[in-house]
Chains A and B, each alone.
Chain A
Amino acid sequence: GEDVEQSLFLSVREGDSSVINCTYTDSSSTYLYWYKQEPGAGLQLLTYIFSNMDMKQDQRLTVLLNKKDKHLSLRIADTQTGDSAIYFCAESTGSFGNEKLTFGTGTRLTIIP
């Protein structure tokens, strides 16, 4: 079956880089996503990567995909207090594309001043 795992907590000093890791089990995943959830808000799509890519960079965000090990990571450079949130990794398993997502439990990122 499908399973996505993340560590629950991560603390990082302001200005350092944050690396949030995720492992998944479904080798037929087509897209992998990172979502951000701030307190009291819905999930916001941060970035995504197609399964035939191994890296994607978008400003302060870098996504690395190791398809062989089924490992996905999100690196946030120069972490700021506004980056405090829960970060969800998700994979697409739906037959039409990415409608049916399987999410991890989320990693709560705390920024230390």
Chain B
Amino acid sequence: NAGVMQNPRHLVRRRGQEARLRCSPMKGHSHVYWYRQLPEEGLKFMVYLQKENIIDESGMPKERFSAEFPKEGPSILRIQQVVRGDSAAYFCASSEYRDRGRMANEKLFFGSGTQLSVL
């Protein structure tokens, strides 16, 4: 059972270009989370998605950033018109679905991350 797969591992973009980061969750997982790690900082929550739905995007900048998790295919984190401050490691995590009434302890499984460098 493959783990959470992210690609590319490294992505270099010039200012103003678009960055597309992909995440394939673990088999059987229907929840995807994106986190960002800026240099010398901890991981910061960005967005939480289920298939075709954004559940919580409170950590995502309102402009230039968008995320989707279509019915088929990987989850995509898209950053338009990148700036130097977007340079960071972007981590995706997935978990399996559980009923809300059950004790909440969904284990998050993380991918190896995409290192985005903006020149």
Q: Interface of A with B (CB < 8 Å)? A: 4, 30-31, 35, 40-45, 48, 88, 90, 92, 94, 96-106
Contact = CB atoms under 8 A, between A and B. Distances in A.
A97 B108 contact: no
A100 B56 contact: yes
Contacts of B25: none
Contacts of B55: 96, 99
Contact of A100 (B40, B45, B107): B45
A82 B60 CA distance: 35
21 contacts: A41-B112, A42-B91, A42-B93, A42-B110, A44-B110, A48-B105, A88-B42, A94-B48, A94-B56, A96-B55, A96-B100, A97-B105, A97-B106, A98-B108, A100-B45, A100-B58, A101-B108, A102-B45, A103-B44, A105-B41, A106-B42
Contacts of B111: 42
Contacts of B104: 30-31, 92, 96-98
Interface of B: 3-4, 31, 33, 35, 40-45, 48, 55-56, 58-59, 91, 93, 95, 100, 104-113
Which secondary structure dominates where chain A touches chain B? strand
Nearest to B4: A42
Contacts of B93: 42-43
